[in-house]
Structure 1
Amino acid sequence: MGTVRQLSRYPVKSMLGEDLDQAYVDEAGIAGDRFFAVLDCVTGKVASAKNPRLWRDMLTVRSTLTPPDSAGAPAVRLTMADGTTETVTVTGHPDPALSTLLGRDVRLLDRAAPGATIERMDPAQVRTDDDLRIAETAESMLAVGSPPGTFFDFAPLHLMTTATLASLAAHSGRPADSRRFRPNIVVEVPDPGAGFVENLWPGRRLRIGPDVVAEVVIATPRCVVPALRHGDVERDVALLQVLSRHNRLRLEGVGFLPCAGVYARPVEFGVIRSGDPVEFC
């Protein structure tokens, strides 16, 4: 049904990530993906660009996995928008570099506390750039479909197809950059005009390469993040209305929501490589 066109991980939740030629996958998804998150020391919540009033600047920073520091503390290398770099470690106190960047006392985490939450802005209230400053937010639980202690929004793998990206481009009249949607795997499908083809995948299993099998759980409901600036990819609030008009799905227990891509749960583990075949099993 297709091949792996893009393979990505995002070492720090809500920061830019890195593309990979290959990756090991287990029950927690791609090794190193969402391994870290930023904790707001003021509220005790995990920082997420889903609340752009506070955290949109996280999407200007690129995160790269790096070996632990000399004391064995987990660490990540951050590259700022101006090209400067910082290596940040997990500690029990606010990190000076991160706190300066984000304008609040924050620190790095490598494990989510039980019941960890984020603040999520309602995308239905965002129609203009000004709405990103005033729309309401609500709390949501992390990692409901993932192993305890992880920082995923829901399940450990997020997949999109080139057909979905092509459909969004056709409806919006401008290219749809996959970076806006932060997928782990972009699947190149034979028919670029197939539309939102992965809407039909929930409840099925995919074999990705020779080793990995993933159960597709649910279509991915979209938040405000695709509308925000991602590195050099500029803000595009109108994209939220494109999704709302052209791919709203009724998700059991969740609602009738704009979607793009699917969440999946690995059930057989191994290595995925760029170019690997993707097929139903």
Structure 2
Amino acid sequence: MPYEETPVGTVRALYRYPVKSTAGQALRTATVTDRGLLHDRRWAVYTGDGGIASGKRTQRFRPVPGLMQWSSSIADASGVPLLVSPGGLRYRADDPAASRALSAAFGQDLMVRPETTIPHHDETPLHLVSTSSLAALSALTGGAVDERRFRPNIVLDTGMLPAFCEDDWIGAELALGDGVVLRLGEGMPRCVMIDQGQAGVPAGTKALKLLGGHHSTEFGLQAYIVRTGTLAVGNVAALRRTPG
């Protein structure tokens, strides 16, 4: 089916979070798979009742405040994350010592596990935000807003496009990188996590309240994978729509 293609920006940053709800890993290149960026949220910390540690409470998730002060990365070809404590201690996620260290740090039984049948992603496999929206929120807060606060996978440099430009992209496709195509979904609902501190990002008090008053407590877009491939910082992003 023919479509119209309009450049809307370039990839400014890529992030993955090898252990869910920990501070993530910035990338120059990333492989996009059917479930999102390779190694993204493949592992998570589980609570004693089988919930997935997060910043909120739902049927799947359990709040474990402070977990974002830990960080995770993929350090070798095994694909097993390396967990780093706020004090700099390092643990492989598959080492029982990692679960023991987390349990001791948070005063409850915690275990690091890979994903099985219960998905670790909150809403969708990918999440993207634009620099236009970051600039708009920065203007509302009166100071620069760190993109890491929103835990995106893809940050698009949208130049002079208007604030919250991605609102008009819902339902379209986005082509970028080495053949990657995404289907853009609804706005990403935000929760208390965006004001919580994480490794390298101090706690804040304004973002969630301001988004509630100015943008329906949403920031960025949910995204689904149409075609897998490779992404790199600097890739051009083009919006695809069917004419009419």
Structure 2 Cα separation of the partners of residues 154 and 36 of structure 1:
16
The one of 158, 163, 178 equivalent to 1:189 is 158
Change (3 A) 1:274 1:68: closer
The alpha carbon displacement at 1:269 in A equals 0.8
- 2:65 aligns to what SS in structure 1? helix
The one of 56, 69, 94 equivalent to 2:65 is 56
The one of 18, 24, 27 equivalent to 2:34 is 27
The one of 173, 195, 204 equivalent to 2:172 is 204
Q: 2:37 is aligned with what amino acid?
A: I
Q: 1:215 is aligned with what amino acid?
A: R
The alpha carbon displacement at 1:62 in A equals 0.9
- 2:50 aligns to what SS in structure 1? coil
8 A Cα contact 1:90 1:110, kept in partner: no
Q: 1:203 is aligned with what amino acid?
A: G
The alpha carbon displacement at 1:95 in A equals 2.1
1:1-281 aligned at under 5 Å gives the runs 1-41=8-48, 43-51=49-57, 54-67=63-76, 75-89=80-94, 95-113=99-117, 149-191=118-160, 194-248=162-216, 258-281=217-240
Q: 1:60 is aligned with what amino acid?
A: Q
Which structure 2 segments of 5+ residues have no match? 1-7
Structure 2 Cα separation of the partners of residues 100 and 107 of structure 1:
11
Change (3 A) 1:171 1:30: same
Tell me the percent identity. Answer: 32
The alpha carbon displacement at 1:66 in A equals 4.0
CA distances 1:162-195 after superposition (whole Å, capped 9, x unpaired): 0010000001101110011000000001216x11
Change (3 A) 1:68 1:108: farther
Structure 1 Cα separation of the partners of residues 183 and 95 of structure 2:
32
Structure 2 Cα separation of the partners of residues 56 and 76 of structure 1:
21
8 A Cα contact 1:94 1:105, kept in partner: no
The alpha carbon displacement at 1:150 in A equals 2.8
So what's the TM-score if we normalise by structure 2? Answer: 0.88
CA distances 1:212-258 after superposition (whole Å, capped 9, x unpaired): 0000111101111101001132111222111111111xxxxxxxxx1
Structure 2 Cα separation of the partners of residues 68 and 110 of structure 1:
16
Let me know the Cα RMSD of the aligned residues.
Answer: 2.1
Greater RCO structure (CA 8 Å; 6+ sep): 2
Pick which of 4-13 and 77-86 moved more: 77-86
The alpha carbon displacement at 1:102 in A equals 2.1
- 2:93 aligns to what SS in structure 1? strand
The equivalent residue for 2:4 is none
Structure 2 Cα separation of the partners of residues 53 and 28 of structure 1:
22
CA distances 1:95-154 after superposition (whole Å, capped 9, x unpaired): 2112112221111111244xxxxxxxxxxxxxxxxxxxxxxxxxxxxxxxxxxx431001
8 A Cα contact 2:173 2:182, kept in partner: yes
Structure 2 Cα separation of the partners of residues 88 and 32 of structure 1:
13
Structure 2 Cα separation of the partners of residues 54 and 160 of structure 1:
24
- 2:66 aligns to what SS in structure 1? helix
The alpha carbon displacement at 1:53 in A equals 9.1
Which structure 1 segments of 5+ residues have no match? 114-148, 249-257
So what's the TM-score if we normalise by structure 1? Answer: 0.77
- 1:99 aligns to what SS in structure 2? helix
Structure 2 Cα separation of the partners of residues 38 and 190 of structure 1:
37
The alpha carbon displacement at 1:94 in A equals 8.8
Structure 1 Cα separation of the partners of residues 68 and 98 of structure 2:
20
Structure 2 Cα separation of the partners of residues 100 and 55 of structure 1:
13
Q: 2:87 is aligned with what amino acid?
A: D
8 A Cα contact 1:161 1:198, kept in partner: yes
